[in-house]
Structures are given as structure tokens and as C-alpha cells.
Amino acid sequence: MHKVVGSAEEAIQDVFDGASIMVGGFGLCGMPENLLRALGKKGVKNLTTISNNAGVDGLGVGLLLANGQIKRHIGTYVGENKLLEQMVLNGTVQLDLVPQGTFAERIRAGGAGIPAFFTPTGVGTLVAEGKEAREFDGRAYIMELALKADFAFIKAWKGDRWGNLVYRKTARNFNPMMATAAKVTIAEVEHLVEPGGLDPEMVHTPSVFVNRIFQGEQFEKRIEKRTLKKER
């Protein structure tokens, strides 16, 4: 039951070259900042990152891109990262774009032990190329495979020493489902409390899914775009 580690560096000590890593967050909200910074310093290469987006230039997953650590990225939205665009166009990084709902369900299926499922999303488009197609009740569907990973990097608001997690607001995005779909789930939290310090009815990710947990520091909580009304 001893899951607490002293730092992000200790938490990722066994991440290896070529590993697949799920990274929680939506844009820059709810991303595991400390784990990503530590991974950047560690310098492992040829990673496959599975994340809704690729951060922005120099932040989030974008930090790993700038370091040349990513070989393949699986995600749904990459429009905020010019570096990724350049790397995809010149063949440095392989990009798999997945419809966002399909992306979420593929991860959920991976965590639930479901190898594949059928969805109408993408039928008749490039998304359907090379995939098994079937018809159910007169409607066309394509088969999508589950997504799993070697590691999941999770960001939560609170967690206890057993690994129970509570997310706050928009940070409860892809983090909960990713926590279930990896061989090793590592959680960084803003507040680490003793067992009994969380309301059991408010726990979003049960401890059974979490392998390591630590209290993060220096959370920047950046905003991708900030638009202010012009003063008159």
C-alpha cells in the first residue's frame, strides 16, 4: 500500500525509451506539469504520447516535442502547436488524429478490458480507411481498437497516501479514464492527505488504479489563450 514517492523524478525513474505514455489534461488544464518537466529532464526518446492535444510550444507535451523525445503522438486536437505541425510535415513525428469522442471511448475501453468497439463516427471518411465495417439496424459502423499504455501521467487536485484521487473542475477531463488504462499510473496532486482525509463519496479515481502518487509543486496553471475586452 506504500505508493507515495518523494518527487516527480523518483516517480518516473523506470520510464524507458520507446514507452507509451498517456498524459491527462485538456489543453493546458489539468495536465501533469511536474511529471512532464521531469520527463523532459530525463531525456528518454522515441516516446508515444497519448493525449487530447500536444500542449503548446514549449509547454505541456510541447516541451517533450521541443526536446525531440516524441516519435508518435495520438490525439484529437493539435492546432495550438506550430512545432508539432512542422515535425509532422517533415516526417519527424507520426501523428494519429482521432475524433475526440472516439479517443475517449478507446481509452475507456482499454481500461475496461474491452479490446474493440463499433462506432458510426468516421464512416465514409479517411478515419474509416483500413478498418472493419459492419451494419447494425440499418446503420454503418466502423471498428475502433482500445487504447492502452505503459504509463499514465495523471494530475489531480487531492489524493491520499493510498492513491484515491479527487479532480477539480475541468481537470476532470481525460485524467480519470487514463488512470484505468495503463500498466503503471502515476498521479501528481496539489494536496496529499492522510487516509480518511477524503470524502469517500467524492473520490473520482479509486486507489486500485494508482501505482504512485506525490505532491507536486510550482503549478503554473497556464492559460492557452486570454482575450481581454479593450478598454474604451
* CATH code at position 34: 3.40.1080.10
In a domain, 222, yes or no: no
Query: What are residue 152's DSSP bridge partners?
Result: 22, 185
In a domain, 61, yes or no: yes
- Check residue 40 and give its pLDDT: 95
Domain extent, residue 53, equals: 8-114+148-215
Domain count, the chain: 1
More confident residue, 2 or 149: 149
Q: What is the pLDDT of residues 123-149, one digit of tens each?
A: 999 999 999 999 999 999 999 999 999
- Check residue 4 and give its pLDDT: 97
In a domain, 90, yes or no: yes
In a domain, 135, yes or no: no
Q: How confident is the model at residue 225 (pLDDT cuts 50, 70, 90)?
A: low
Q: How confident is the model at residue 218 (pLDDT cuts 50, 70, 90)?
A: confident
Say how far apart CA 84 and CA 107 lie, in whole Å. Answer: 23
Average pLDDT score, the chain: 93
Q: What is the pLDDT of residues 81-138, one digit of tens each?
A: 888 889 999 999 999 999 999 999 999 999 999 999 999 999 999 999 999 999 999 9
In a domain, 28, yes or no: yes
In a domain, 223, yes or no: no
Q: Has residue 1 got a pLDDT over 70?
A: no
Beta strands per DSSP E along the chain: 20-23, 47-50, 70-75, 94-97, 116-119, 133-136, 139-145, 149-160, 165-166, 182-193, 212-215
